[in-house]
Amino acid sequence: MSTTNAEPDAGQQQPARIELNPSLRDNVRLLGDLLGQTIKQHLGDDFFNTIEAIRQAAKTDRKVGSDELKGVLAKLSDDELVPVTRAFNQFLNLANIAEQYHFVRRKAPADELVANRLDTVETALDRLLKNGQDPAGILAALQDMHIDFVLTAHPTEITRRTLIQKYDAITETLKALDRDDLLKSESEGLRQILERLIAEVWHTDEIRQTRPTAVDEAKWGFSVIEYSLWEAVPGFYRQLDAVLTERIGEGLPPSVSPLRFTSWMGGDRDGNPNVTHAVSQEVLSLSRWMAADLFLRDIELLRAQLSMSTATEALRERVPGSNEPYRAMLTNLRVRLEATRSWARQVSTMDLPTYLREMKQLLSQDSTSRDVLLYDEELLEPLRLCYDSLTACGQSVIAKGPLLSTIYRVRTFGLSLVRLDIRQDSSRHREALREICNELGYGDYTSWSEAERQQFLVRELDSRRPLLPFDWQASEQVNEVLNTCRVIAAQPEGSIACYVISMASQPSDVLAVILLLRACGVTRNIPIVPLFETLADLEGAAESIDRLLNTEWYRSYTSGYQQVMIGYSDSAKDGGQMAAAWAQYQTQEALVATAERHKVRLTLFHGRGGTVGRGGGPANRAILSQPPGSVAGRLRITEQGEMIRFKFGQPAVAVQSFNLYVGAVLEATLAPPPDPEPEWRDTMTAMAKSVTTSYRALVKGNEDFVAYFRAATPEQELGKLALGSRPARRQIPPGETGGGVETLRAIPWIFAWTQMRLMLPAWLGSDIALQEAFSGGKRPVLEDMLDRWPFFQTHIDMLEMVLAKVDINIAASYEARLVEPHLHDIGQQLRERVMKLVVLVRELKNQDGLLADNPVFRLSLKVRDPYTDPLHYLQIELLARDRRQSADKRSTETVEKALKVSMAGVAAGMRNTG
């Protein structure tokens, strides 16, 4: 059984052979052996031998093209389904742990890091300096840099939190073993710890039994900060300081902190009825509770350390008569943090009227008349005073210890720990204004022209008269919108990052939000961020922002800063990945030009996902391929679902991720890529048009496509996985029929195709576009684009990575077992198209096989094959049984559980879900 037609044809030169690094191989083997021992102890030798027979059959099938694996799997009893599926799922999770640790270990080979696209700030600095960049300019760019990671709770994190904690402990144990000076007893003790942890993993249910609530999701985000980012952020800044000192002779000033963290968990109500004003209130309060608790731990440590008596007069004036002024200052801070923690817990579940009264009273007091800390400066100022005093008194070595780490944390996380974005659909705001205008006798707001809406909104924004009628009773939906605005109004400055509007295409969509916020008591100018998602939205984005900035009232509101969010998921689902990528590129160019024309500073907010079909891929390459001027030191980007764990779940991994982002933003700012040549633009435009036409012809134009999709993939069964608080499907508007792919969110759309290894959303249409370009004599142009244009290089490389995950034989097996024969033509056509695309990409890159220039990734996939293959074939059988038993209304508990585990296992093997 061959893998895909991604492999070279017979007679062609094979790609250079690459072996696993010995250390990585040893760790994979160690974890696998310990898992095998655990399974043997639990289920006996016979069952363990069954697992080994399945694994060997999978390897044989890959090597000689046999069907031995299907025969072995066919002999499994019902009782063996779940444990067999669990065994292969857990091996893949352990292999992922070993691989992730390998690339952050102290002794990781530099050439492997380069091969795996893992740049550092150090390598970025070296390139900039080599190309003549002024050191002062580099430091100024870092001081101006602002990178905001927006953590989102999209339902792609399939692994339970309790297992994530055990996996992290396994990583820490591998780290402890990674020393040459361990005594034999120490080494044996660590192996025993690994054995225990793997046994704990094996005896823990992989699958959540209940869906997490929106508050649960937020708490999961807090835990990533507590267990990883809290350590990683100061660690990265210290590393950056050392690199700057070595390379340009000047370190990182304590006042510089380019990293920020925001969250959509508890704030993203677009399409999620489970996120309410009460949820946002609770999440905002718990976030402050968590921040106070974490800073209290820091302060206790500092009180133990800062026992010095020598201090500046400025510090002594704040704690008169104290022989240990630093401890006295920190004791005062401890009292206030304890009060803050107690208060935050108390207000988290108050009813709204009580909460609003409590917050109003608190916000009206100045800092000296309350114990509760509300603003970051109230926490930062005494710490900075201690730092300055120690430095002035010749004790800078002490000042730059844990005290500086706490200062870094305050600047990065602050008293809100993680700021909250609020996201809502524009239609909800229009409905609110429709009800308000009807109540005031103004008529139907939704029937007005855009000019009439803008005129009304600006007039009301300038008015000193309250907008909301006294004692007016709004509908439940509108009242929820207004209550959300009231919760926002009650927050201290810095708690809310921005308000994102989905489906915002007109200036009135933005002005409407500002008016509703003002009507509910918001007095500060919160950034309002329109989100452009579909291809049509992207095409009209620059014009929409131009009209918005032409509104004098709004231009004054912005104070010279404008943020725009670009959606990646829905645009790709709308018209194909290549067309979406080109539309996003052109939109960014047009937005940069618009911002320059209006003399405002633009921040682009990239709504990327983890997979290529949702804008994912290596972050540094994506940043370096953006249009010139579109980064300019400022970047906001979503980190979604399982990618939060992969990028930030462990301190060393998070530091590596920070290196990638900061280095790439620095280079994109100081040495942006060139503008594309006119011929490149024409070629991309023609290909994008071809992609959209071809993509839509099948996905939206073939009446049998949805039936094929539902039958061939586990799309219908995804709802059985308790992945997140948000529904998998969008709500269908009244009067409309639903059920097509347009009602499906981008995440399950991609998840489903990934599970059966066709990866359709990331490549469909690109095959036709590249073939037409080749046939039209554009191959030399494409090769020039590939050689000199980072945008096109990155896109083709991401496409190649997707194609390497495609397996046409596995996809055909899903079809043969699960799809009605009259629909098989669709699958046959798709498999033929993807095989032709593999050939086109190989020809374009002049390679004999896929991933010839990325052997580390190629080997990573190959190592997983003997473990993912059984999961795929088990899943096929489980899907057939589950559907048959559901149709017969018989119990499917055992089959259902095994099916869920198979989905988790395939996701682990592919290293992503949606």
Residue 295: give its domain's CATH number.
1.20.1440.90
Q: Does residue 692 surpass a pLDDT of 90? A: yes
Please count the other Cβ atoms lying within 10 Å of the Cβ belonging to residue 674.
Answer: 9
Helices 184-202, 78-102: inter-axial angle, 10-degree rounding: 140
Residue 118: the pLDDT is: 61
- Predicted pLDDT at 12: 34
Q: Counting every residue, how long is the chain?
A: 914
377-400 b/e with 16+ CB inside 10 Å = b? ebbbebbbbbbebbbbbebeebbb
- 854-879 burial, b at 16+ Cβ within 10 Å, e below that, comes to bbbbbbbbebbbbbbbbbbbbbbbbb
Lowest mean pLDDT among 295-304, 500-509, 903-912: 903-912
Q: List, in sequence order, the alpha helices (H) in 103-229.
A: 110-115, 121-130, 135-144, 161-177, 184-202, 214-224
- Full residue range of the structural domain in which residue 316 is found: 277-416
pLDDT band for 886, please (50, 70, 90 cuts). confident
Bigger pLDDT: 354 vs 205: 354
In a domain, 171, yes or no: no
Same structural domain for residues 385 and 427?
no
DSSP H or E segment with residue 421 = strand 419-425
Q: Percentage of the chain surpassing pLDDT 70? A: 91
Predicted confidence at residue 15, as pLDDT, reads 45
- For 225-260, b where at least 16 C-beta lie within 10 A, e where not — what string? bbbbbbbbbbbbbbbbbebbeebbeebbebebbbbb
Report the DSSP pairing between strands 601-607 and 561-567. Answer: parallel
Residue 480 or residue 900, greater confidence: 480
Nearest to 904 by CA among 612, 642, 610: 642
Strand partners, 423: 268, 500
Flag whether 596 is in a domain. yes
Distances (CA, A) of 797 to 671, 683, 767, 857, 891: 22, 18, 15, 12, 46
**What percent of the chain has pLDDT above 90?**
73
The residues pairing with 638 across neighbouring beta strands, listed in sequence order, are: 150
DSSP state of 638: E
Residues 501 and 545 in one domain: yes
The label of the residue with tokens 């509703």 reads 516
The set of residues, in sequence order, having a beta carbon less than 8 Å from that of 360 and lying 6+ positions away, is 490
**Same domain for 457 and 584?**
yes
Using an 8 Å Cβ cutoff, are 440 and 432 in contact?
no
Partners of 634 in the β-ladder: 146
Whether residue 75 lies inside any domain: the answer is no
C-alpha closest to that of 93 among 900, 898, 868: 868
User: Would residue 181 count as lying in a domain?
Assistant: no
For 85, half-sphere exposure in the C-beta direction (CA atoms, 13 angstrom radius) is: 31
- What mean pLDDT comes out for the span 849-869? 87
Residues acting as catalytic residues: 154, 573
Nearest to 573 by CA among 528, 532, 614: 614
Residues 486 and 606 occupy one common structural domain: yes
- 111 — pLDDT class (breaks 50, 70, 90): low
Give yes or no for a contact between 425 and 232, defined as CB atoms under 8 angstroms apart. Answer: no
Mean pLDDT of all residues in the chain?
A: 90
Question: pLDDT tens digits, residue range 570-602?
Answer: 888 889 999 999 999 999 999 999 999 999 999
Identify whether residues 646 and 503 lie together within a single domain: yes
Confidence check: pLDDT of 913 > 50: no
Do 299 and 427 lie in one domain? The reply is no
Residue 113 has pLDDT above 70, yes or no: no
Assess whether 393 and 432 both reside in one domain: no
Do 167 and 655 contact (CB within 8 A), yes or no?
no
Q: What is the pLDDT of residue 701?
A: 94
b/e for 308-323, b at 16 or more Cβ within 10 A?
beebbeebeebbeebe
- Categorise residue 31: left if φ over 0, alpha if ψ from -120 to 50, beta otherwise: alpha
* Whether 491 and 599 share a structural domain: yes
Whole-angstrom distance, CA of residue 837 vs CA of residue 684: 17
The yes-or-no verdict on residue 198 having pLDDT over 80 is yes
Place of tokens 């696993």: 20
> Is 895 a member of any domain?
no
CA distance 810 to 502: 38
Which H/E stretch holds residue 404?
A: helix 404-412
Q: Are 514 and 557 in contact (CB under 8 A)?
A: yes
Query: pLDDT category, 891, cuts 50, 70, 90?
Result: low
Whether the CB-CB separation of 34 and 41 falls below 8 Å is answered with no
Last residue of a domain, one of 416, 441, 465: 416
Distance CA(129)–CA(509), nearest Å, equals 45
Q: What is the pLDDT of residue 108?
A: 56
Same domain, 296 and 370: yes
Q: Phi and psi for 433 in degrees, rounded to 5?
A: -70, -30
The backbone torsions φ and ψ at residue 149, rounded to the nearest 5 degrees and listed phi first, read -90, 120
Q: Is residue 513 part of a domain?
A: yes
SS3 content of the chain, % helix, strand, coil (to 5): 65, 5, 30
Q: What would the pLDDT profile of 707-722 be if each residue is shown by its tens digit?
A: 999 999 999 888 776 5
Which among 670, 696, 728 is the end of a domain?
Answer: 670
Query: What would the two tokens of residue 152 be?
Result: 């989102």
Q: Is there a single domain that holds both residue 529 and residue 630?
A: yes
Spatial neighbors of 888 by CB under 8 A, at least 6 apart, are: none
- From CA 501, how far away is CA 507, in angstroms rounded? 11
What is residue 44's three-state secondary structure?
Answer: coil
Tell me how many domains the chain contains: 2
Q: Is the pLDDT of residue 614 over 60?
A: no
Greatest mean pLDDT among 594-603, 616-625, 896-905: 594-603
Of 519, 502, 474, 552, which Cα lies nearest the Cα of 510?
Answer: 502
Residue 722 confidence (pLDDT): 56
Closest by CA position to 474, among listed 446, 422, 516: 516
* Mean pLDDT computed over 643-661: 91
Q: pLDDT digits over 368-400, tens only?
A: 889 999 999 999 999 999 999 999 999 999 999
Banded pLDDT at 735 (limits 50, 70, 90): very low
* CB distance 128 to 629 below 8 Å: no
Q: Are residues 503 and 577 in the same domain?
A: yes
Asked if residue 514 and residue 464 are part of one domain, the reply reads yes
**Residue 84's closest CA among 887, 912, 749, 867?**
867
Residues β-bridged to residue 636: 148, 605
Last residue of a domain, one of 652, 670, 688: 670
Domain-located, residue 174: no
In this structure, what token pair is assigned to residue 803? 């194609």
Distance between CA atoms of 432 and 474, rounded to whole angstroms?
Answer: 8
Lowest mean pLDDT among 109-113, 663-667, 803-807, 837-841: 109-113
* Cα distance between residue 867 and residue 250, in whole Å: 50
Asked whether residue 642 carries a pLDDT value surpassing 80, the answer given is no
What letters, b where the CB count within 10 A reaches 16 and e where it falls short, cover 816-849?
Answer: eebbeeebeebbeebbebbbebbebbbebbebeb
List, in order, residues 6 or more apart from 404 with CB less than 8 Å away: 234, 254, 387
**355-375, pLDDT tens digit by residue?**
999 999 999 999 888 999 999
Cα 573 from chain centroid?
18
**The token pair that represents 409 in the structure block:** 């944390």
CATH number, residue 474? 3.20.20
**Inter-residue contact 312 to 389 (CB < 8 Å):** yes
Residue 876, domain member (yes or no): no
- Counts for the chain of helices (H) and strands (E), in that order: 40, 8
For CA atoms 870, 876, 880, 886, the dihedral sign is: positive
